[in-house]
């Protein structure tokens, strides 16, 4: 594993909108290690914290690739961009339309498949053979109603496993993000 320069240990990265989209679509063909790092980046954890969470990943090359693809950016870069942006005058709308939602929106198939893929990937890498039946259950999920109980079972399995216990909370947060 590459050693991380002390000056970088406190650097915090966040996903860009392209990074959020990549988690859903998997269009860029990231490696499993790069994808795992992208999922764990949340705008709160420093490089030092990520280095303690990521299993067997060469963190710096993964971060370098994600930056190159503009899927993540450091919080310092975001602050600099905000300073450069000049506010535009706000124009009052001509008419205001109010729309009421009567039912909670359901997950579309793209987000459902992204959630299933994340759950399968994490189960296979962190639970190994003990996650085989859970992976099969995840693969046949068809809608949001079936998803809820399976997420609970998956999260508990991660929390109870030796490898997964340190990552369960981050993966659950990633699932919550995908469900929004």
- Report yes or no on 101 lying in a domain: no
Quick check: is 34 in a domain? yes
pLDDT at 77 over 60: no
The CA distances from residue 157 to 19, 141, 167, in Å, are 27, 18, 11
What is the C-alpha radius of gyration for the chain, rounded to an integer number of angstroms?
19
Q: Is 151 helix (H, G, I), strand (E, B) or coil?
A: helix
Residue 78 vs residue 83, higher pLDDT: 78
* Whether the Cβ atoms of residue 122 and residue 167 lie closer than 8 Å to each other: yes
pLDDT tens across 10-67, in order? 888 899 999 988 888 888 888 888 888 888 888 888 888 887 777 545 778 888 889 9
Record the tokens describing residue 46, joined without a space.
């420093």
User: What is the domain extent for residue 18?
Assistant: 6-82
Same domain assignment for residues 76 and 141: no
Residue 129 within a domain: yes
Name the more confident of 149 and 90: 149
Our measurement of the distance from residue 150's CA atom to the centroid of its chain's CA atoms, rounded to an integer in Å, reads 18
Domain-located, residue 1:
no
Q: What share of the chain is helix, strand, coil (3-state, %, to 5)?
A: 60, 5, 35
Please give the model's pTM, rounded to 2 decimal places. Answer: 0.51
Total structural domains in the chain? 2
């Amino acid at each position: 594993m590459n050693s991380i320069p002390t000056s970088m240990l406190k650097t915090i990265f966040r996903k860009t909108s392209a990074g959020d989209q990549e988690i859903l679509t998997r269009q860029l063909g990231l490696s499993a290690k790069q994808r795992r790092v992208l999922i764990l980046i949340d705008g709160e954890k420093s490089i030092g914290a990520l280095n303690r969470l990521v299993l067997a990943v060469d963190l710096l090359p993964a971060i370098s690739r994600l930056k190159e693809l503009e899927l993540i950016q450091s919080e310092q870069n975001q602050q600099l961009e905000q300073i450069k942006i000049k506010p535009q005058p706000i124009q009052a709308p001509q008419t205001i339309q109010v729309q009421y939602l009567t039912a909670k929106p359901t997950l579309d198939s793209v987000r459902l498949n992204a959630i299933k893929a994340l759950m399968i990937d994490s189960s296979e890498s962190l639970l190994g053979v003990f996650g085989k039946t859970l992976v099969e259950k995840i693969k046949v999920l068809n809608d949001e109603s079936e998803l809820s109980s399976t997420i609970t079972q998956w999260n508990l399995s991660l929390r109870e496993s030796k490898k997964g216990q340190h990552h369960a909370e981050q993966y659950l947060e990633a699932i919550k993000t995908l469900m929004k």
